[in-house]
Structure 1
Amino acid sequence: MSPPPPTHVALVGATGSLGPAILAALLAASHTVTVLTRIGSTAAAKLPPHPNMDIKEVDLGDARSIAPAFSGVSVVISSVAASAIASQNPLIDAAVAAGVQRFIPAEYGLDSANAKAALLPIIKEKVDTQTYLNAKVRETGGTFSWTAIANGWFLDWVLQSTDILLDVKERRATLYNGGDVPFSAALLRDIAQAVVGIVAKPEETKNRVVYVHSAVVTQKQLLRYAEERDGRKWSTSVQGTKELLEEIKGAVEKEDFDTAYRVAPILGCSDLGYGCDFSDHVDNELLGIKEMSEAELRELVEGLL
C-alpha cells in the first residue's frame, strides 16, 4: 500500500523537549510544516532550514493573530510547554476559524481518560482542553476533530535529563511505591511517529485518546541495568502514593504549580490505579510503532553511565 499523500500541518512548540522530534518526523514524511513561534522569540531561529518548512510569528494568546498562519493547514499539532497546557483555547479557536480538520493537543503523558489521573494537576488541564475540543466538534458539525496522545514518560528524556527515575550523578534512586509498578513509557522518536501516524490515519484516530509506548518497564528493572553496568549497588529510598499526594496537595495550596506538575506524573506512573500500564489497549500497530527489546532498553540505560 502506498503511503498517504503529504499534507500541510502546523506545529506549535517546535523547540521544546518533544517538538524537535515531531518536526523531524513530519519533514521526513514529506509533510509541509508551518512552525508557529511567539512574536519576538528567537528560539525558532535555531531550527535548521528546510524547503518544506516555514516559520510564522504570532501572538499565541490571540486567535485572530493565529488564524492567518493556519491558512491551508489540515492538521495543527500543539507541543507547548507544561506551563501553557491550560492556554491552548486560542489555538483551537484559530484552527476552527481557519477550517483545520484535526487538532492534536499537548497531552503526551498519563491516561487522561482514567478517572483518578484526570484529577491530578496538569492532567485536569488536559481534560479541560478535551472538553473544549469536543464542544468545537459539536459546533462545527464534525468538520473539526481532535486526537490526544497518551505515552507515559518520555523515556529517553526523563532518563537523560532528570533524576526522577534514576539519579545517575549520585548513583541513587527514589523507588516510588517500591519500584515494582509497571508503567508505559515512550521514546521521543516514537511519540513523534504517533503524530505522523495520526496524520496518516485520521478516521481511525478521530476524537479520542490514542495510546502508545516504546516499552513497559519498572524502576527496579532500570535500576538493575544501571547497577549491573556500574558494577555496584546504588543507594535507594522509597516514596509511596500517600506521600506523593501530600506533596502535590501542599504544592497546590502554595500555588507552587511547577512542583505540582512535576510530581503528578511521578504519582501517575507509579500506581496502577492511575492507568499507567497501557499494555491491553495500546495503538502501536495502528500508528507504526515497534516496542523496544530488553537489549535496547538495557543499552539506553547503560548509555547514561
Structure 2
Amino acid sequence: MGLSYRIALAGATGNLGTPMLEALLGAGYLVTVLSRIGGNSSRLKPHPNITSKEVDFTSVESLTTALSGVQVVVSCLATLAIGSQNPLIDASVAAKVKRFIPAEFGMDSKNALSMELPVCAPKVATQNYLLEKSVSNPGFTYTGIANGLFLDWCIAAGIIVNPKNRSATLYNGGDVPFTATTLRDVAKAVLGVISHQEDTVNRIVYVQSALVTQRKLIQYAQEADGKEWDVVVKSTEEVKQESFRELAKGSEGDIDAAMLGFCILASWTPEYGCDFSSHLDNELLGVKEMSETELSTLIGSYL
C-alpha cells in the first residue's frame, strides 16, 4: 500500500484524530484531511502527504468531491456527532471508497444491553446503515473498532482515576476488570484494519492495551509515591438513573454528562461486556498489551 494509497480522515484535530493522523502519516499513507468549513484545519502541521479539504459534512455532493481517489475513510468525528455520519457514508459509496471505519471507538456495541444505551444507539444505527450500503454496493465495506475506554486520555481527564488530585470514584467497588486502550494503540488498530481488510470485513474488531481495575491503577500510583488517595464508591446503577434524569430534562439537562454517565455504566458493569479479553483481535491488528511496568509508568506520569 503506502504512498499510492490514500486515506481520508474526518476529525483530524480531535483527541483521537491527532494521533490517528500521526499514525497514518508514519505508515507512509497519503492523507486527505476533511474539516468543516471554517474549522480547525489551520492547526495542522504542514506535511507533504497531507491534503486538506474543507467540506460541508451535511452535503453528500461536497463530500463526494473531496473523496476522489480515496480508498479508506476513517471517521473520528466527535461523540455527539456520530449520529450524523450518513452523508459521509453515502459520499464514500459514491466515490467508490473500499473501506469505511466509523466513529465507533468505545464500548461493545454488539452487547445487547449496551445497544440500548442512548450513547450507543447512534453507533448501532450507523453499523446497520453501513451493512445495508455494503449489501447493495459489494465493493464497499466497513469495520468498527471497539476499544473500551481511552486509557491515557481518561486518566488525564480524571475519569478512570484522578492521579493529579489522588482521588477516584470507584464504580461498583473499583475491582471490576475493564478493557482500556491508549489513543496510540487505537490508531495502531486502524492501521491493522487497513492492512488486513479481508479479515476485518463488515464486523466489529476488539482491541485493548490492558485489562485493568481502578484499584489496581491506584495501587501502581501508591507504589510510586506512597501517598493516600481520597476515594468514594458509587454504583453504576446510580449513574444510570442520574444520566436518564439529565436526558429527561431535554435542552435544560446536561447532555454531555448524561452521555459520559452511560459510558461509565457500560465500562464498569460486567453485564455490559466491559471485558473484551475473551474475543480480542490484538494479534491480527498488531496491538500489543501493556505490561504491569508499562501501566505503572503510565499512571506515574500523571502524578
TM-score interval (norm. to shorter):
over 0.9
| 2:266–2:272 CA contact under 8 A, matched in 1 | yes
Aligned residue in 1 for 2:140: 144
Aligned residue in 2 for 1:245: 240
- Return the alpha-carbon distance in structure 2 between the equivalents of residues 275 and 293 of structure 1: 23
Aligned residue in 1 for 2:44: 47
- Return the alpha-carbon distance in structure 2 between the equivalents of residues 4 and 28 of structure 1: 10
> Which deviates further from its counterpart, 195-204 or 44-53?
44-53
Deviation (angstroms), 1:168: 2.9
Aligned residue in 2 for 1:57: 54
| 2:164–2:302 CA contact under 8 A, matched in 1 | no
Paired letter, 1:63 = V
Deviation (angstroms), 1:172: 1.3
Establish whether residue 214 from structure 1 lines up as the match of residue 209 from structure 2: yes
Secondary structure at 2:64 match in 1: helix
Aligned residue in 2 for 1:101: 98
Deviation (angstroms), 1:4: 7.0
Establish whether residue 128 from structure 1 lines up as the match of residue 125 from structure 2: yes
Deviation (angstroms), 1:261: 1.3
Secondary structure at 2:112 match in 1: coil
Identity of aligned residues (%): 52
Aligned residue in 2 for 1:168: 163
Paired letter, 2:295 = L
- Return the alpha-carbon distance in structure 1 between the equivalents of residues 171 and 206 of structure 2: 23
Deviations 1:100-129 (A, max 9, x none): 111000011000000011111221110011
- Would you say how many aligned residue pairs link Structure 1 and Structure 2? 300
CA RMSD of aligned residues (A): 1.2
* Change beyond 3 A, Cα 1:80–1:236: same
- Return the alpha-carbon distance in structure 1 between the equivalents of residues 302 and 237 of structure 2: 31
Paired letter, 2:168 = A
**Structure 1 residue runs without a partner (length 5+):** none
Secondary structure at 2:222 match in 1: helix
Deviation (angstroms), 1:135: 1.1
Paired letter, 2:59 = D
> Which deviates further from its counterpart, 258-267 or 201-210?
258-267
Deviations 1:192-219 (A, max 9, x none): 0111111101110000000000000000
Aligned residue in 1 for 2:28: 30
Aligned residue in 2 for 1:282: 280
Aligned residue in 2 for 1:236: 231
Deviation (angstroms), 1:170: 2.9
Secondary structure at 2:278 match in 1: helix
2:151 pairs with 149, 155, 163, which one?
A: 155
Matches within 5 A, 1:285-296: 285-296=283-294
- Return the alpha-carbon distance in structure 2 between the equivalents of residues 290 and 120 of structure 1: 30
Deviation (angstroms), 1:30: 0.8
| 2:236–2:264 CA contact under 8 A, matched in 1 | no
Aligned residue in 1 for 2:82: 85
Aligned residue in 2 for 1:225: 220
| 1:34–1:53 CA contact under 8 A, matched in 2 | yes
| 2:2–2:29 CA contact under 8 A, matched in 1 | no
Deviation (angstroms), 1:295: 0.2
| 1:32–1:52 CA contact under 8 A, matched in 2 | yes
**Structure 2 residue runs without a partner (length 5+):** none
Deviation (angstroms), 1:139: 1.6
Paired letter, 2:276 = F
- Return the alpha-carbon distance in structure 2 between the equivalents of residues 112 and 260 of structure 1: 18
Establish whether residue 201 from structure 1 lines up as the match of residue 196 from structure 2: yes
Deviation (angstroms), 1:224: 1.1
Paired letter, 2:114 = A
